[in-house]
Chain A
Amino acid sequence: MNDSVEYIVEGRAQVALEDDPVDAAVRTAGLVRRFGTTIAVDGLDLCVRRGEIYGFLGPNGAGKSTVIRILCTLLKPSAGTASVAGYDVAQDPGSVRVRIGVALQDAAIDDRQTGRELLILQGRLYGLSAAQIRLRLAEVLDLVDIGTAIDRRIGTYSGGMKRRLDLAAALVHNPEVLFLDEPTTGLDPHSRTAVWSEVRRLNRELGMTIFLTTQYLEEADSLADRVGIIASGRLLAEGAPAVLKHSVGHDVIVAEVDGDGTLALETLRSFEELEPAWSADGTITVTTIDGPAALGTVAVALGRSGLHIRSLTMRTPTLDDVFMEMTGSRIDREEVLL
């Protein structure tokens, strides 16, 4: 996959022309979605290449799910255009639907059916023959690991089992483009790892394009070929995770402090090689070219500012730092921590 960073102009990523393939799996241009006076999606330009795993990262309420619902033909854009697998979602939703598989944020499955009945029904609605359904059930059940519970009513399933069944339902018809809306939220670590493995396998072996939203930094970092960072309905940055992280600085020094860090911020800004930022959760983040060399300078500056330092660590940048760089705030840490 292409590791180039997309151009970031006035807070919005502009897809470079040379990276804008004619046969994009997902493409939006100036996409807007309003709910009354609220603008959930605000002029979104996206281009996801065929065969790519694209991670859509942002906090709750950023507009991720609204974008997914537009791309999956559940919502019409208020303005702008969106196409999936080459078909416009508003003008030709039927052609889009036959080519997509979707697992929404809350497993949208029917508790009153058995898992097997749900998958068979899904196969029938995609026009599969009985033999094809049997074949696909064997394949998807192998991957979702539901075991004999597949013949139990879904109402008896755990949350993790429902998510896995939801994923299986999204895959029954071998979609071209798979949309996963926060696919591992609420899953235990074992199930999360299994989903990650399956996402990689689907992409690697079948060439399936996968568009996933997540608020888990690790998930986007681990899975996605490219990541789009969204906040308040706007795309703030887009690119390969490694390149995005590199773009915010080589090293990050994080200080957890007691007290108001704004004064320390002024002090730190007096050092040309430091780029400090203050977060309301009591964290001062300093990006710098040479972390080890700057560590002492930061410690002294914080001490002189009269702050009590609870911890001082140095690490390489994360996507959260990219988000911090773009928005001045962090993705909700309680939601983020795995």
Chain B
Amino acid sequence: MTAVEIGSVMGREAGFVQDVRAIAGRALRQIPREPAAVIPAVFVPAFFYSVNLGALEKLAGTALNYKAFLLPMAIAFAVTGMSRAPALVTDIQSGYFDRLCMTPIKRSALLLGLMVADVAVIAALCLPVLAIGAIVGVRFATGLPGLLVFVAFSALWGLAFTCFPYAVALRTGSPAAVNACYVIFFPLFFLTDAVVPKQLLTGWFSVIATYNPVTYLLGALRSLITSGWQFRPLLEGTAAIAGLAAVGIWLALAALRARIRMGE
């Protein structure tokens, strides 16, 4: 495509990387201006971690390091569902999304830019929860590299999950629908071995937990804290994240295509 010049400045396509940077930068600038969107993601996991620890640690006995066992649940709570999907809905409703669509921006950058910002926020949200864990005595058997992998797994999981609220936002442009999307968060998290070891689960609950990808995410994260470097749980965790991401990205990109296909 050729550049266009009328005055002394030419308009042209900025390129994919520049587009993603511009959208991500805008999304990140908004974070400190909307603390209400982030504070619950710190407070809620800290609350659940404290309550579950207080209520169940004695039941767990000394055979299980319950503080370490519970920490992945708190992390998963912190990072799951943290996305700019509500802001995307606001853009759609205000017409700003249309304004962006009338620029030469690469269409996928409209979504990927937000996701890049989400990853940065999600990684940052891991830190206060990890700090709480450190305060109560949780240590990583895999050391600092394991901690970094732990954060990476958490961020990728959070990123995979963000695809769903983005898909709903793009399909509906409705804040109510996006909020309703988070309903799937609860069965995903509570129908797992989030607070009770898997071998203690029975009946239908055990069956569902076996097929729930969150179980394998938590297993991978726990292995990094308590067991050292173990191939199988990390592989299972990777597969769980990849599976969720594959479905989520497909849905989100289909929703993006539907939103921008010029009202055919």
Contacts and interface: CB of A to CB of B under 8 A. Distances in A.
Interface of A: 72-76, 85, 90, 93-95, 97-100, 102, 104, 106-113, 117, 121-122, 124-128, 132, 135-136, 139, 153, 169, 173-176, 206-208
Interface string B232-264: 000000000000000000000000000001111
Give the 6 A-B residue pairs with the shortest CB-CB distance, closest first: A173-B11, A108-B95, A127-B14, A76-B262, A127-B12, A174-B7
Interface of B: 1, 3-15, 18-19, 21-22, 25-26, 29-30, 33-34, 87, 90-91, 94-96, 98-105, 261-264
A282 to B, nearest CB: 38
27 contacts: A74-B101, A76-B262, A76-B263, A76-B264, A93-B262, A94-B1, A98-B1, A98-B11, A99-B4, A100-B102, A104-B98, A112-B90, A124-B21, A124-B22, A125-B100, A125-B103, A125-B105, A126-B103, A127-B12, A128-B11, A132-B9, A169-B99, A174-B7, A174-B8, A174-B10, A175-B11, A207-B6
B6 A206 contact: yes
Tell which of B8, B9, B14, B96 has the most Cβ of chain A within 10 Å.
B9
Given A110-B26, A124-B22, 15 more contacts: A74-B98, A98-B104, A104-B98, A106-B95, A108-B95, A108-B98, A113-B26, A125-B105, A126-B11, A126-B12, A127-B18, A173-B9, A174-B10, A175-B6, A207-B6
A25 B191 CA distance: 61
Contacts of B19: 125
Contacts of B15: 127
Nearest to A92: B1
Contact of A104 (B3, B9, B34, B99): B99
A108 B8 contact: no
A108 B11 contact: no
Given A98-B4, A176-B6, A122 B11 contact: no
A117 B29 contact: yes
A176 B18 CA distance: 23
Contacts of B98: 74, 104, 108
Given A104-B95, A121-B22, A126-B103, A73 B11 contact: no
A93 B263 CA distance: 14
A76 B262 CA distance: 5
A112 B8 contact: no
A89 to B, nearest CB: 8
Summarize A's interface: helix, strand, loop or mixed: loop
A175 B102 CA distance: 12
Contacts of B87: 112
B99 A108 contact: yes
B14 A125 contact: yes
B14 A126 contact: yes
Among B5, B19, B22: residue with most chain A CB under 10 A: B22
A208 B22 CA distance: 27
Given A75-B263, A125-B104, A126-B104, A110 B96 contact: yes
A117 B11 contact: no
B71 to A, nearest CB: 34
B191 to A, nearest CB: 37
A176 B3 CA distance: 11
Given A76-B263, A108-B94, A113-B29, A174 B101 contact: no
A19 B18 CA distance: 42
A124 B21 CA distance: 9
Contacts of A127: 11-15, 18, 104
Contact of B262 (A75, A85, A125, A169): A75
Contact of A176 (B4, B12, B22, B105): B4
A71 to B, nearest CB: 10
Contacts of A139: 7
Nearest to A87: B1
Contact of B8 (A90, A94, A126, A135): A135
A109 B26 contact: no
A320 to B, nearest CB: 30
Contacts of A169: 99
B105 to A, nearest CB: 5
A108 B11 CA distance: 20
A93 B103 CA distance: 10
A95 B34 CA distance: 36
A174 B95 contact: no
Contacts of A208: 6
A174 B11 CA distance: 7
A122 B9 contact: no
B108 to A, nearest CB: 13
B102 A102 contact: yes
Contacts of A104: 95, 98-99
A124 B4 CA distance: 15
A174 B9 contact: yes
A98 B13 CA distance: 7
Contacts of A174: 4-11
Contacts of A108: 94-96, 98-99
Contact of B103 (A85, A117, A122, A153): A122
A20 B4 CA distance: 23
Contacts of A126: 11-12, 14, 103-104
